[in-house]
Amino acid sequence: GLSFFYKQSELMEHRADLDAVYRVLRDLIAHARPGSEWEQLEFVGAPHSADFTSAISLPTIGSAATRADIELVVDPTHRLSLLWTPHLHAVRVGRPPTPKAIPLMDGVAQLDMSYWPAKNGGWTTVWRNAMPPRLVRIRIAFSDTNRRWPALVAASMLDPL
């Protein structure tokens, strides 16, 4: 009866939320920018977070993509958030601006991340390089252990498969 309908619509809502989050994450990884001798950028990947520069398109900042310094984290309230500050082509003087937080999803126990190198090798849980990894695998572990979703594997556009 109705309880099945509500359960089904709740599942579809969760799936739509996760699909939207995966689209955002895939887009950020795809547009990750490498460093150069003129601009010392680094893609810093850790087991449960990542920090890198990417192009970001958000309704709140207009339709044009803006270069931003991004950090993906799960905060103590179990919220997966995207922290970002505008990326400047200059040396910052003084304190850096406070990152803006964009909540992506609630009920996240942990973000598990791993990285595949550009050439050969295998998955590693740590990445620190001017070049983004070829692939980034993201698993979202939910606070509700009945909720599961397959891992997202996203490729950077710098090194097409």
68: Cα within 13 Å, side-chain hemisphere: 25
Its pTM stands at 0.79
Residues 133 and 124: their CA atoms lie apart, in Å, by 10
Give the residue among 74, 64, 69 at the shortest CA–CA distance from 85.
69
Percent of the chain with pLDDT over 70: 76
CB 95 within 8 A of CB 136: no
Residues in the chain, total: 161
pLDDT for the residue 67: 82
Residues 113 and 94: their CA atoms lie apart, in Å, by 32
pLDDT averaged over every residue in the chain: 80
CB 89 within 8 A of CB 120: no
| pLDDT digits 0-9 by tens, 104-134 | 999 999 999 999 987 777 999 999 998 899 9
Three-class SS of residue 14? helix
CB 72 within 8 A of CB 103: no
Residues 36 and 101: their CA atoms lie apart, in Å, by 27
Residues 73 and 89: their CA atoms lie apart, in Å, by 25
Token output for 89: 């082509």
CA 47 and chain centroid, separation:
13
pLDDT for the residue 15: 60
pLDDT for the residue 33: 86
